[in-house]
């Protein structure tokens, strides 16, 4: 599940633990630091305006395809393809990931006639 780290502490046994808040759910939980995998966000140069990427939708915490509209102080303003209202949303810099080039190429050729 996708979550944000909200704090880190050392418990009474000396184990480093981090508190997380799940994105899309109002739940918090604590895990051992070694059980948490951090996402490495792409550099802004790798995700220019107009790029098709995936981002975490705040409503359910899942990854969806979207297009970057602009870079912001916090991250990116995107528009999710599955959003019927096409409302731009801001996502944090660490809540996007690049799509494999093969997937982008396949998407680009789907509507082309032979």
Lookup result for tokens 């949303």: 89
Whether residue 112 is predicted with pLDDT greater than 80 in this model: the reply is: no
> Mean pLDDT of all residues in the chain?
86
pLDDT value of residue 101? 61
Closest CA to 98 of 49, 41, 39: 41
CB contact at 8 A, 105 and 53: no
Would you place residue 113 in the very low, low, confident or very high pLDDT band (cuts 50, 70, 90)?
A: low
| Strand 52-56 with 96-98, pairing | antiparallel
Answer with the residue of higher pLDDT: 39 or 28. 28
pLDDT tens-digit series, residues 47-76: 999 999 999 998 888 999 999 999 999 999
The third-level CATH classification (topology) of the domain covering 44-109 is SH3 type barrels. (2.30.30)
User: Where in the chain are the domains?
Assistant: 3-35, 44-109
Whether residue 44 is predicted with pLDDT greater than 60 in this model: the reply is: yes
pLDDT value of residue 107? 53
pLDDT value of residue 102? 47
């Amino acid at each position: 599940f996708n979550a944000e780290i909200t704090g880190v502490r050392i418990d009474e046994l000396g184990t480093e633990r981090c508190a997380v808040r799940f994105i899309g759910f109002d739940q918090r939980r604590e895990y051992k630091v070694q059980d948490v995998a951090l996402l490495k966000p792409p550099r802004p140069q790798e995700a220019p305006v107009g790029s098709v990427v995936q981002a975490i939708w705040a409503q359910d915490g899942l990854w969806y395809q979207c297009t970057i509209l602009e870079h912001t102080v916090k991250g990116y303003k995107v528009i999710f393809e599955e959003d019927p209202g096409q409302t731009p949303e801001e996502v944090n810099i660490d809540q996007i990931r690049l799509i494999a080039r093969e997937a982008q190429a396949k998407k680009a050729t789907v509507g082309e006639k032979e």
